[in-house]
Structure 1
Amino acid sequence: MSRKPATRAKPEAASAIPSGQSPLVTVRHYCQGIGDCHLLTFKTQEGQPFRILIDCGVHVSITGGPALVGDIVTDLKNETGGLIDILVVTHEHWDHVSGFLTANDLFKTFTIGEVWMAWTENPADAEAAELDKFKGQALAALQGAGQQLEGMQGLNPYMERVRDGLHAVLGFQFGAAGQRVRSARDAAAKLCAKPPRYFEPGGPPTSIPQLPGLQIYVLGPPRDKAALRLEEQAGAMFPLASGGPFTRALASGLEANETSDPGFVDELSPFDDSIGTPLSVALSGEADDSAVDYVRKHYSEPIAHTAPQESPEQSWRRIDADWMGIAADLALRLDRGVNNTSLVLAFEFIDSGRVFLFPGDAQIGNWLSWKDLKWPVGQRTVTSADLLARTVYLKVAHHGSQNATPQKQGFDLLTSADLSAFIPTNKADAVKVHWGEMPYDGILTALETKTKGRVIRADDAWLAEKNGEPAFATPSGSIQAVRSVPRDAARGLGGLWVEVDLV
């Protein structure tokens, strides 16, 4: 992989690879379903393997997830001898980092050359520190709301959905208690004696001395607040230090519910604190108030003598927990915001111009921020549109969800005739946790069309078969060869990994 002069003109599209050429990179995708772990193996000029591991985690909804990750890390150790040249941690979500915590003892036996993370994880970066503070405060408020809702009886259907949704976000995305994800991220950083390297878009592409024919472009995460989707309103700075309006409102309400301080003032209350009777007092019957009897009859108990049009079930009248409905909006903002902090890497081979794109879980805000990116390379300028046009392999973002890959600024720019793709997804698990359509049919259809069927999914049935083969022919497009290993076909556990040689 000799480096050509920097002034050489680049083709507008990736050039064809002669048949029989050695693969540019071999990618082993682990098939835990909803979770990411990808081992990229390059060859140095001396013919030695150079390995980059991108993420290692599994969604908490996956039955037997920690054991599966244990199998994955064991396989990584066997394949690499425990030597990883670069560990890339794309972002702070449990299904991307859980393995660094649950399989930490095994990971500690590895030798890690470098750890790469996004600028958003850098404690020395002022904006990252503010973002980190926002995430911490938002998680604390959501945990408080979740605990209160778990202990409440007679929630109306809407608040039951809010409660279940909070459980999904806190448990599924951030770890069982909503905090373990940070411990997992930090555990990954400590696997290398050197401090992590932090990356952001801008400046020249990154080069690796051992791989002179390769350069790496950083497309995300953006610095723009709106693109991260954590702003109060379009064009405004998000008030990270105070946690944002949703966090402030939720935290204030929780404090009002929990405090016994008679001097506490709820600044967000629409009424003066001298007006009204506390609900707990009204329900206990301790107050001498004309409204107490009405509240007890029509709010807390079934009505003994109801009119024909009245229902004896009174839970639909109860709104004492409804103020916590704002937690749903906060949880959605936090979840999408963290996805948009994904470190997005485009690997370009200089000789051929072919690009391999790994966007983590980048959602719309991250993708749209790439639109005007430019990189100076010698006497020329590379644009994000140019990189996407030359992309011949795509790790699909966020398990193929609807809001992960845009059409106009995403799929429409992926124009290479050799495009192939992998989706770390499991439809059955997505249905089980009520995520709806994941992977999204529109994205699947677009991928199938653009790749001429060269799409591999972590839940493909053939991956559980011995000597299973994909429906598309190989070699084809950017895929030179495909290999797979079932985890335990006898127990119906699907594939452990699928490996592709890419050109």
Structure 2
Amino acid sequence: MSRRPATRRRPAEAAPAAALASAVTVRHYCQGIGDCHLLTFTKPDGSPFRMLIDCGIHVSIAGGPALVADIVADLKKQTGGRIDVLVITHEHWDHVSGFLTAKDLFKDFVVGDVWMAWTENPADTEALELDKFKGQALAALQGVGQKLDGMQGLSPYMAGVRDGLQSVLGFQFGAAGERVRSARDAAAKLSAKPSPTYFEPGGPPQTIAELPNLRIYVLGPPRDKAALRLEEKAGEMFPLASGGPFARALSSGLRMNQDDDPTFVDELSPFERNIGTPLSAALNGDKGSDPAVDIGAFTRKQYSGPVSGAASMEDRDQSWRRIDADWMGIAADLAMQLDRGVNNTSLVLAFEFIDSGRVLLFPGDAQIGNWLSWKDLKWPVGQGTVTSADLLARTVYLKVAHHGSQNATPQKQGFDLLTSADLSAFIPTNKVDAVKVHWGEMPYDGILTALEAKTKGRVIRADDPWLADANGKPAFAAPSGSIQAVRSAPRDPARGPGGLWVEVDLV
């Protein structure tokens, strides 16, 4: 259907915070590395409309399932077990684990609708392509992980690769690699509708009949495969599809010692299969294909462990020369592509209040490729057009993406466009836990510094010390900016220190 060309309108001027009544209450649960956010809107008749965004925790968190059970119990108490819309941003364990580990608690909830990104739609051809890539990559990574776990004397580099694979497979995707799929599907089954509702960018903004003052814009994930490839910056592109060759190479390497398959062809080998001697055979004394050459003795002397009673340097441990495990190093690249590629499939929602023009942005774990794909997005609204730049300029509240990691929020197409004087932010992060899993600097100091300046200090973190105190208060004054009030509750001491939730009234 054709439309009359719309004229671009100027972004609505946000009304002063003091002149507005609270538009929404957001309760952020403070499990640290994990997301769970309850948004409570008020219908015209005064009754609540509740939207839950994700519910999960990183598997590295000690007592994580018990903490999530506390969170779900609090959700039940807060909502009476009624969730109007459940949003699943993407398929990562720290966003969906609760729907599996606390399945018995969630079964009594009534959920009106489940929202997911188009990337989770089993009837979508492009989603199936992505799913096939994920399946092949996971299978290859699991095979490499099992092989490395059984190897002795790994070099420091390969030991790091092994530990990194354990992090990706065990933390992001569950110990069995596909538990995350079970958790996602458990969330989908909570819907009162036959299947979830799937969203993609473009078209008019979404509306909810019970909330006439609200428009919801879908910014991501992009359909553009090039956008899904981007991980760190605009000049560097890591094709998601390149996981195919990586996965095939790893799978071929893992099959190299399968002597029971005479049809197997190693695509990576420069020689025919009948040429040469397997390293394991040479180390065990095999003389090789040429009886005149004792390849076994040479190999044992030059590349094996210490020779009994060794007197000279050359007879001592020479196993450091071997690189027989190094080919598996490409697993690190594949694991990073898979992890970040899934983050870029995050469902990104911007909530606009029509009367004030003020916007709340919930980007899931969107990384750079997802963010940059919003640049040219436009939505027809009335006789005008809303752009992504308009929405970012009017954003007064930001759920920071991917726990504040370095490559989650761009500067030029992210922070530089967040220009509202009333901007406030929440980061679902725990620095101590990030160090434990070797994630480095998370939250990233550069992002924290930019946020502190942009928000005038109105940044709340899930690991803020004041959240552990029943009477704790943030350093900034409330009301301030978009935040009208702040409330919090500490955890049960049996679950460790910290807050269970922090709640803000926003305008």
Q: Letter of the aligned partner of 2:255 in structure 1? A: E
Q: Which amino acid aligns with 2:79?
A: T
> Gaps spanning 5+ residues in structure 1: where?
1-5
**Superposed CA offset, 1:357-401 (max 9, x none):** 000000000001111111111111111011000000000000000
1:348 is paired with a residue of what secondary structure? strand
Shift of 1:283: 1.6
CA contact 1:464–1:492 (8 Å) conserved in 2: no
For residues 83-121 of structure 1, give each alpha carbon's deviation from its aligned partner in whole angstroms, at most 9, with x where no partner exists: 000000000000000000000111111000000000000
- Please report how far the alpha carbon of residue 307 of structure 1 lies from its aligned counterpart in structure 2 after TM superposition: 5.0
Correspondence for 1:227: 227
Q: Which runs of 5+ in 2 are unaligned?
A: 1-5
1:219-259 deviation per Cα after TM superposition (whole angstroms, max 9, x unaligned): 0000111211189x98998658xx61101111111122345
> Counterparts of 1:206-355 in structure 2 under 5 Å?
206-229=206-229, 239=241, 244-288=244-288, 289-303=293-307, 304-305=309-310, 307=312, 312-355=316-359
* Cα separation, 1, equivalents of 2:151 and 2:494: 44
2:495 maps to 1:496: no
Deviation at 1:320, TM superposition (A): 1.2
Q: Does 1:175 align with 2:171?
A: no
Query: What is the TM-score with the length of structure 1 in the denominator?
Result: 0.94
SS in 1 for 2:18: coil
Aligned-pair Cα RMSD in Å: 2.1
- Report the AA paired with residue 201 of structure 2: P
Query: Which of 442, 445, 448 does residue 441 from structure 1 map onto?
Result: 445
Question: 1:374 and 2:378 equivalent?
Answer: yes
- Compare 285-294 and 199-208 and name the one that shifted more: 285-294
Shift of the 312–433 alpha-carbon distance from structure 1 to 2, 3 Å rule, reads farther
Q: What amino acid maps onto 1:159 in structure 2?
A: M
Cα deviation per residue 1:141-161 (whole Å; 9 max; x = unaligned)?
Answer: 100110011011111111101
What is residue 474 of structure 1 aligned with on the other side?
A: 478
- 2:228–2:240 CA contact under 8 A, matched in 1: no
* More deviation, 466-475/261-270: 261-270
**C-alpha contact 1:13 1:389 (8 A) present in aligned 2:** no
CA–CA distance in structure 1, aligned partners of residues 143 and 437 of structure 2: 22
Trace 1:391-402 onto structure 2 (pairs within 5 A). Answer: 391-402=395-406
Q: Indicate the residue corresponding to 2:41 in structure 1.
A: 42
1 CA distance for matches of 2:238 and 2:446? 33
Alpha-carbon distance between aligned partners in 1 of 2:493 and 2:464, rounded to the nearest angstrom: 13
Distance of 1:265 and 1:9 partners within structure 2: 62
Residue 298 of structure 1 and its aligned partner are, at CA, apart by 2.6
Contact 1:361–1:398 (CA<8 Å) still a contact in 2?
A: yes
The 1-side partners of 2:495 and 2:273 are apart by 62
Aligned counterparts of 1:196 and 1:428: Cα–Cα separation in 2: 36
Contact 2:29–2:37 (Cα < 8 Å) also in 1 = yes
The residue that corresponds to 1:3 in the other structure is none
Q: Deviations over 1:253-310 (max 9, x none)?
A: 11223452123211222222122101121121133542211211232212454656x6
Match of 2:50?
51
Query: 2: distance between equivalents of 1:499 and 1:28?
Result: 4
After superposition, the Cα gap between the structure-2 partners of 1:7 and 1:158, relative to the gap in structure 1 and judged at 3 Å, is closer
Identity between Structure 1 and Structure 2 (%): 78
**DSSP 3-state at the match of 1:18:** helix
Q: Greater shift after overlay, 331-340 or 190-199?
A: 190-199
Question: 1:143 maps to which residue?
Answer: 142
Deviations 1:324-347 (A, max 9, x none): 111111001000000000000000
Shift of 1:493: 2.1
Equivalent position amino acid for 1:132 in 2: D
8 A contact 1:7–1:378 mirrored in 2: no
Sort the Cα spacing of 1:476 and 1:311 in 2 relative to 1 into closer, same or farther, 3 A.
Answer: farther
* Compared CA separation, residues 234 and 421, structure 1 to 2 (3 A): closer
1:192: Cα distance to partner?
Answer: 1.2
Which letter does structure 1 place at the counterpart of 2:92? H
How many pairs are equivalent?
493
Would the alpha carbon gap of residues 414 and 152 (structure 1) be closer, same or farther in structure 2, given more than 3 Å must change?
Answer: same
CA distance in 1, matches of 2:52, 2:415: 26
Counterpart-to-counterpart distance in 2, 1:176 and 1:311: 42
1:483 counterpart SS class = strand
Output the CA distance in 2 between the equivalents of 1:475 and 1:357. Answer: 20
C-alpha distance in structure 1 between counterparts of 2:11 and 2:260, whole Å: 70
Partner Cα distance (2:179, 2:457) in 1: 38
Q: Secondary structure at the match of 2:17?
A: coil
Structure 1 residue matching 2:104: 3-state secondary structure? helix
Please report how far the alpha carbon of residue 313 of structure 1 lies from its aligned counterpart in structure 2 after TM superposition: 4.1
Secondary structure of 2:386 counterpart: strand
CA distance in 2, matches of 1:169, 1:355: 34
Counterpart secondary structure, 1:412: helix
With over 3 angstroms needed to count, the CA separation of the structure-2 counterparts of 1:491 and 1:346, relative to structure 1, is closer
Q: Report the alpha carbon displacement of residue 187 of structure 1 after superposing the two structures with TM.
A: 0.6
CA gap of 1:316–1:446, structure 2 versus 1, over 3 A, is same
